[in-house]
Amino acid sequence: MAIVTSAGPRAETAALSRAPDRSRWAAGARTLFGNPVTIVAAVFLLLVVLAAVFAPVIARHDPTFLDPGVRLQGPSAEFPMGTDDRGRDIFSRVIYGGRVSLAIGVGVTLAAAAIGSVLGLLSGYFPRLDTPIMRTLDGLMAFPSILLAIAIMASLGPSATNVFLALTVVYTPTVARLVRSTTLVTRQQPFVESARSIGMTDAGILLRYVYPNGLSPLIVQCTFVVAFAIISEASLSFLGAGVDPETPTWGNMLRDGQRVLQVAWWLALFPGIALVLTVLTLNVLGDALRDALDPRGRGR
């Protein structure tokens, strides 16, 4: 019996798919790094991550230190991105702001991917759970995403933790929908049926066969969720419904910057550019990943 199990569906599918699988990954890697734009984007993103991690080393000034003597100074050698209306160094604040953006972007994505995967697998695999789960998520998706986030922030109050919670609620349904749709397809596959016929548990089938099969679209989706979450966090902070206003974040800086836009352009421009470039590189990488992981879309 043990022999039958070990030579069961797993060995069979492995034998069938090993060769094409490896060449698929190789072709994927070639597509991913064959494009100079992708490499530039990856390098830039790496720099943003490094800057965030090593912020205390890179920033030459305390991002929250008020120095009334140097209010609203334009970019200079001492302050490469100028100072704000309370004499704080914009460059240091942009670097520290990246920490908040990345932490929230990645944190929200991991949480939404985890919860969304569970909901999507349950909903796609067990027909009885499909309707209650999906109807609830449809209801959540009836709100424009930023509006739902604003609504949740309005009741929870401004803080980074609450932004994380609100955006997790906002982005979980998209992940769940995607996982559900791939689960629905995989569930019909012969190897799932054969796994069931040899008495594998549902949990085992889901984790070993169904979930891994839907992983590559999920990875692509997650890249975009990081980008969306970063934009949403900045929007919430900009509106005054995000991270605590005293914390340096790109959204908070844009909010401060717009107040003095008539006299000092650098307050809003630099955090904005940091935000756009980060989101842009994430989008470029997401596109490249999609091309690399989905052979049908290649060459489009």
Partner 1 sequence: MTAYILRRLVLLVPVMIVVGVVVFALVHLTPGDPAAVILGDRATAEDIQRLREQLGLNDPLPVQFARWFGDMLRLDFGESIFLGEPVTRALLDRVQPTALLTLYALLIQIAIGVPAGVLAAVRHNSPLDRVFTVMAISGSAIPTFFLGIVLILIFAVRLRWLPSGGYAPPGEGLGAHLQSMVLPAFALGFSAAGLLARMVRSSMLDVLREDYVRTAWAKGLPERLIIVRHALRNALIPALTIIGISVGALLGGAVVTETVFTIPGMGRLVVQSIARRDYPVIQGAIVAIALTYVLVNLVVDVLYVYIDPRVRLGGE
Chain residues that interact with partner 1, rule: CB under 8 A: 135-136, 138-140, 142-148, 150-157, 227, 231, 234-235, 238-241, 254, 257-258, 261-262, 265, 268-269, 272, 275-276, 279-280, 283-284, 287, 300
Q: Pick between residue 28 and residue 271 the one whose CB is nearest to partner 1.
A: 271
Q: Pick between residue 19 and residue 142 the one whose CB is nearest to partner 1.
A: 142
Q: Pick between residue 210 and residue 291 the one whose CB is nearest to partner 1.
A: 291
Would you say the C-alpha torsion 232, 238, 244, 246 has a positive or negative sign? positive
Report the distance separating Cα 84 and Cα 140, nearest Å.
39
Residue of 131, 132, 129 whose CA lies nearest to 121: 129
Residue of 231, 228, 244, 207 whose CA lies nearest to 286: 228
Q: Pick between residue 153 and residue 206 the one whose CB is nearest to partner 1.
A: 153
Helix/strand/coil (H/E/C) assignment for every residue in 171-210: HHHHHHHHHHHHHHHHHCCHHHHHHHHCCCCHHHHHHHHH
Instruction: Write the CB contacts of 76 (distance below 8 Å, at least 6 apart in sequence).
Output: 82
Q: Pick between residue 191 and residue 228 the one whose CB is nearest to partner 1.
A: 228
For residue 60, the minimal CB distance to partner 1 (Å) is 25
**CB-based burial of residue 139 (10 Å sphere; 0-12 exposed, 13-18 middle, 19+ buried)?**
exposed
Q: Pick between residue 58 and residue 129 the one whose CB is nearest to partner 1.
A: 129
Report the distance separating Cα 239 and Cα 249, nearest Å.
12
Residue of 295, 297, 252 whose CA lies nearest to 84: 252
For residue 189, the minimal CB distance to partner 1 (Å) is 23
Residue of 42, 46, 28, 97 whose CA lies nearest to 244: 97
Torsion of CA 129, 134, 140, 141, to 10 degrees: 160
Structure tokens at 167: 């955006």
Q: Pick between residue 195 and residue 284 the one whose CB is nearest to partner 1.
A: 284
Please provide residue 83's backbone torsions phi and psi, each rounded to the nearest 5 degrees.
-125, 160
For residue 67, the minimal CB distance to partner 1 (Å) is 25
For residue 71, the minimal CB distance to partner 1 (Å) is 19
For residue 108, the minimal CB distance to partner 1 (Å) is 16
For residue 5, the minimal CB distance to partner 1 (Å) is 40
For residue 261, the minimal CB distance to partner 1 (Å) is 6
Q: Pick between residue 47 and residue 147 the one whose CB is nearest to partner 1.
A: 147
For residue 232, the minimal CB distance to partner 1 (Å) is 9
